Amino acid sequence: MSAVKTPIYMDNSATTRCDPRVVERMLPYFSEDFGNAASRNHPFGWMAESAVEVAREQVAALIGAHAKEIIWTSGSTESNNLAIKGAAHMYERKGRHLITCVTEHKAVIDPMKHLEQEGFEVTWLGVDRQGRIDLGALADAIRPDTTVVSLMAANNEIGTAHPLAEIGRLCKAKGALFHCDATQAAGRMPLDVVAQEVDLLSLSAHKFYGPKGVGALYVRRKNPRVRLAPLVDGGGHERGMRSGTLNVTGIVGMGEAARLARECFDADVAHVRALRDRLEHGILASLPDAVVNGDPEHRLPHLSNISFPYVEGESLIMGIKDVAVSSGSACTSASLEPSYVLKSLGLGDELAHSSIRFSLGRFNTAEEVDFVVDLVVREVLRLRAMSPLWEMVQEGIDLSQVKWTVH
Ligand SMILES: *Cc1c(COP(=O)(O)O)cnc(C)c1O
């Protein structure tokens, strides 16, 4: 009946398919143009270096930075580690206090915890029901010994966007560095390190139609000039902040992906937003008690995190296995712990477990969305029909008043 090809990929916040134009640009750098960008004595090296510098301009342009402010890394996990640990250690004499938020990605949370083990003090900002921080609480938390404030541009599980310009202004006024994990926002929300007063910003190519295993860290060069203690020593590549032979093919791919993200920004955003809205409206029209999580207004355009009360998320994911999505527990790797992000919004374990993240991308179609809406609605209705909780709700029992006994 339907022409859509399954499985359907709707997990673009986990990774995106490489754009064919990106792959095309990368190919010569696996073969003829295989040089080491650090080789100074022959054209093989010069070719590689010039390709890397073109990519550096392209990535810088995506965020309003200067090419010299871009440091190549292996992805956002490394960029976050380098920014947070690198700045914490470099500015240790100024102070040992850092600020972040409980809904950050593990690639920010874990380096912060690591620094806590080393004796640094971390203030963990909480969030409201929609995943928003309180700017007043942030202002109060910044102290004379605060060196780094790390807050993401937009959340990878619920899509809530933080007000970057306001955060940047606060940090600048109080003399703390602002690190922003912008992994999800690249190509989906406007990023401008000047207007938003960001000092350090992490990007990952595979989240915006580039290859995996390559990323960048923007490091501000003036007002202030930010310095970082390197995580990796050897050779002094990348202004001494990140040694190691550059991943030239990956970098060329990231550059082209950044160029496309800029060129296609309006079209990409309009496309994913239209599909996301179609998905949400379709699901909510048939399942009015489904709940969309996150900030309804300030959020990523491609992502929808929806809780389906009275059905179990894992069963739902199994039931819709023709669609690749993430569950409310997928982000903590193999464990079935409910998502810490959803829990920090105040969702109970039940609701967190019944949540699914749909994330759309450049290559999704309206036909795919319609197929997914049908499938999800059908499956939720089927699972509910088997759910004793749903039956009780239909009988008018208020579940919050029920006293459960554990045997
Ligand atoms: C994917 C992601 C990361 C990790 O990026 P990698 O390049 O895969 O290491 C970090 N932060 C956020 C918000 C992400 O979505």
Residue nearest to atom 12 of ligand 1 (CA): 183
Percent of the chain with pLDDT over 90: 86
Marked catalytic residue, from 18, 101, 180, 331: 331
Sheet of 215-219, strand order:
70-73, 215-219, 200-204, 177-181, 146-150, 97-101, 121-125
Q: Tell me the CA–centroid distance for residue 106 and ligand 1, in Å.
A: 9
- Residue 154's identity, in one-letter code, is A
Structure tokens at 382: 């089927």
Instruction: Tell me how far apart the alpha carbons of residues 259 and 251 are, in angstroms, rounded to a whole number.
Output: 12
Whether residue 215 sits in one domain with residue 230: yes
Residue nearest to ligand 1 atom 5, measured at CA: 76
Look at residues 228, 263, 298 and tell me which one is the last residue of a structural domain: 263
Distance of CA 36 to the CA centre of its chain: 31
3-state DSSP assignment of residue 251? helix
| Nearest Cα residue to atom 2 of ligand 1 | 183
118 and 181 in a single domain? The answer is yes
339 in Cβ contact with 224 (< 8 Å): no
Nearest alpha-carbon partner for 360 in 278, 263, 262, 259: 278
Residue 403 lies in a domain: no
Q: Are 38 and 235 in contact (CB under 8 A)?
A: yes
Q: Which of 59, 112, 184 to mutate to test the pocket of ligand 1 (most atoms within 8 A of CB)?
A: 184
Q: Report phi then psi at 333, rounded to 5.
A: 45, -120
Q: Between these two residues, 351 and 365, which has the higher pLDDT value?
A: 365
Residue 50 Cα to ligand 1 midpoint, Å, equals: 27
On whether residue 399 sits in a domain, the answer given is: no
133 and 250 together in one domain: yes
| Residue 335: pLDDT band with limits 50, 70, 90 | low
In three-state secondary structure terms, 46 is: helix
Q: Among residues 235, 263, 291, which one ends one of the domains?
A: 263
In this predicted structure, the answer to whether residue 61 has a pLDDT above a threshold of 90 is: yes
Number of domains the chain contains? 2
* Cα–Cα distance list, 54 to 37, 45, 251, 338 (Å): 12, 14, 10, 43
User: What 3-state class would DSSP assign to 188?
Assistant: coil
CA 105–ligand 1 middle distance (angstroms): 7
CATH of the domain at 160: 3.40.640.10
CA-based nearest residue to 148, from 179, 182, 111: 179
Are 176 and 315 in the same domain? no
pLDDT digits (tens, 9 = 90+) for 286-326: 999 999 999 999 999 999 999 999 898 888 999 999 999 99
User: Do 158 and 346 touch, CB atoms closer than 8 A?
Assistant: no
How remote is the CA of residue 156 from the centroid of ligand 1, in Å? 8
Cβ(234)–Cβ(244) below 8 Å: yes
Q: Which of residues 245, 263, 281 is at a domain's end?
A: 263
Band of residue 334 on the pLDDT scale cut at 50, 70, 90: low
Q: Are residues 227 and 313 in the same domain?
A: no
205 Cα nearest atom in ligand 1: 7
Strands 323-324 and 177-181: unpaired
User: How confident is residue 333, by pLDDT bands cut at 50, 70 and 90?
Assistant: very low
Nearest 5°: the CA angle 300, 78, 266 is 25
- Going by CA atoms, what residue is nearest to atom 14 of ligand 1? 183
Split at pLDDT 50, 70, 90, the class of 258 is: very high
Residue 101: active-site member? no
What is the per-residue burial (b if ≥16 Cβ within 10 Å, else e) of 49-71? bebbebbbebbbbbbebbeebbb
Asked whether residue 187 falls in the same domain as residue 42, the answer is yes
Ligand 1 pocket: which of 12, 15, 105 to mutate (most atoms <8 Å of CB)?
Answer: 105
- The predicted structure's pLDDT at residue 325: 95
Q: Considering the domain boundaries, does residue 203 fall inside one?
A: yes
Full domain range(s) for residue 34: 20-263
CB atoms within 10 A of CB 38: 15
Is 163 part of any domain?
yes
Task: Look up residue 176 and give its two tokens.
Answer: 């703390």
Both 96 and 174 in one domain: the answer is yes
317 and 373 housed in the same domain: yes
φ/ψ bin of 198: left (φ > 0), alpha (ψ from -120 to 50), beta (otherwise): beta
Instruction: Name which of 398, 59, 330 is nearest 204 in CA terms.
Output: 59
* 306 and 209 together in one domain: no
CA 378 / ligand 1 centre spacing (Å): 33
pLDDT at 69 > cutoff 80: yes
The answer to whether residues 364 and 272 touch, using CB atoms and an 8 Å cutoff, is yes
Could you read off the pLDDT of 109-128 as tens digits, one per residue?
999 999 999 999 999 999 99
Q: Please check the confidence at residue 283 and state whether its pLDDT lies above 50.
A: yes
Residue 290 lies in a domain: yes
Write out the DSSP string of 372-397: HHHHHHHHHHHHHHT-HHHHHHHTT-
Q: Is 400 domain-assigned?
A: no
Among 210-219, 228-237, 381-390, top mean pLDDT goes to 210-219
pLDDT at 346 (0 to 100):
94
Cα torsion 60, 61, 66, 72 to 10°: value is: 10
How much distance in Å is there from the Cα of 76 to the middle of ligand 1?
Answer: 5
167-182 pLDDT, tens per residue? 999 999 999 999 999 9
Q: Probe ligand 1: pick from 84, 103, 156, max atoms within 8 Å of CB? A: 156
What is the phi/psi pair of residue 198, to 5°?
A: -90, 140
Which of 62-66, 104-108, 211-215, 238-242 shows the lowest mean pLDDT across its residues?
238-242
Please determine, for residue 332, whether its predicted confidence score (pLDDT) is greater than 50.
no
| Average pLDDT over all residues of the chain | 94
What integer pLDDT is reported at residue 290 of this predicted model? 96
With 50 as the cut, is the pLDDT of residue 184 above it?
yes
- Closest atom of ligand 1 to CA, residue 80: 10
188, 269 contact by CB (below 8 A): yes
pLDDT at 1 exceeding the cut of 70 = no
CA of 101 to the centre of ligand 1 (A): 16
In the structure, which protein residues have their CB atom closer than 6 angstroms to any atom of ligand 1?
Answer: 75-77, 105, 107, 152, 156, 181, 183-184, 204, 207, 215
Q: Are 338 and 292 within one domain?
A: yes
Q: Which residue's alpha carbon is at the smallest distance from atom 7 of ligand 1? A: 75
State how far the Cα of 263 lies from the Cα of 352, in Å rounded to an integer.
37
CATH number at residue 365: 3.90.1150.10
Identify whether residues 58 and 193 lie together within a single domain: yes
Partner residues linked to 406 by β-bridges? none
pLDDT tens-digit series, residues 352-405: 989 999 999 999 999 999 999 999 999 999 999 888 778 888 888 877 777 766
Residue matched to tokens 């088997």:
386
Q: Are residues 144 and 108 in the same domain?
A: yes
What is the C-alpha to C-alpha distance for residues 59 and 70, in angstroms, rounded to an integer? Answer: 8
Return the ligand 1 atom nearest residue 107 CA.
10
